[in-house]
Amino acid sequence: MLIFQSVMAKFSDLRVGVLALQGDFERHQYQLVSLGADVTLVRLPEDLRRLDGLIIPGGESTTMDNLIDRFHLRQPLYEFGRVKPVWGTCAGMIMLAKAITDNQAAVQPLGLMDIDIVRTGYGRQVFSFEETIKARLNDQETELKATFIRAPIITRMGENVKPLGYYNDTPVLVAERNLLASSFHTELDDDTTLLKFFLTKFF
């Protein structure tokens, strides 16, 4: 009980937003609340005010892209991500990217992270899979249970982008300045290792 209370207290002063236009934002909200963070579901530009950081969840990137414009969030998200911590998971990685290869759906990424990606690079929904991957977190090798659902593949990384985790020799977890991006989901499981890393190292 004391360990649980100390974890809750550690993150209780953080105000974290989750982009809640579409996708699995409720799972991110659940995990953040379980750690004691103050959570705001972001649907409008004014929801970004006073936040310490943001998670852009997985989902359908074409729909997310359209809704970002519909609710006038594109520029506010860009300005927020230039200075404050943002973690993009799956579709969130797509939205953070600089460019999208073979972009038939004409998704407009925010261009915050210096990576290029291929949407659904690991295959469509029917090819979803779970895998335990190894990541380098806090200068230690850590195992993460990763779920790949229509996941993007990174095809290019800028010189300031740091790979933290790989699947089959391809980077699937990367960091750059205040930004973290993962091709996979961890919020579908109860393991909060990667979330704690984000809240501890990027805030």
Tell me which residues are annotated as active site: 90, 185, 187
85 alpha-carbon distance from chain centroid = 10
Alpha helices in the chain (DSSP H): 2-11, 25-34, 61-70, 74-83, 91-96, 193-201
Phi–psi pair at 14, nearest 5 degrees: -95, 135
Check: CB of residue 53 under 8 Å from CB of residue 84.
yes
> Residue 129 forms beta bridges with which residues?
148
**3-state secondary structure string, 117-135?**
EECCCCCCHHHCEEEEEEE
Phi–psi pair at 175, nearest 5 degrees: -135, 150
